[in-house]
Structure 1
Amino acid sequence: MKNLFLVTVGVVIGFAVAHQFNKTPEGRRFFGDLDGRAKTFRAAVVDGYKTREAELRGDQAA
């Protein structure tokens, strides 16, 4: 139970620090870049999933 409490406190502190950092121009740039990379990664995963799904179904027009 103590470990769960410490993890929760760590997450709350992390969010608070990230929020303060996001208020700076460098922070906004950092989080914008991070968001762009996450979207690119997500798009690649979705594309790979759809391609593999089409291969398994035998559908070549994906």
Structure 2
Amino acid sequence: MKNVIWLAIGIGIGFVVAHNVNKTPQGGRFFADLDAKAREFGAAISDGYRAREAELRDAIENAD
């Protein structure tokens, strides 16, 4: 239980620090870049999933 409390405190402090950093011009750019990279990564994962799913569906259809 003690570890959960420390985890919650750490998360709270992290949010406060991130909020304060985001207020600065450099911090705003940092988080904007981070967001763009995360979205790009998510899109790449999604595209790869769709491509693999299409390959498997074609393989199933051609197996019959």
Tell whether the structures are fold-level matches, with TM greater than 0.5: yes
Q: Which residue of the partner structure matches residue 32 of structure 2?
A: 32
Q: Which has the higher contact order (CA 8 A, sep 6+)?
A: 1
CA RMSD of aligned residues (A): 1.0
What TM-score, normalized by structure 1, do the two folds share?
0.93
Deviations 1:5-57 (A, max 9, x none): 00000000000000000000000000000000001000000000000000010
Gaps of 5+ in 1: none
What TM-score, normalized by structure 2, do the two folds share?
0.90
Structure 1 runs (4+) deviating above 6 angstroms are: none
* AA partner of residue 3 (structure 2): N
**Larger Cα-atom Rg:** 2
- Structure (1/2) with the larger helix percentage: 2
Determine what percentage of the aligned residue pairs are the same residue.
58
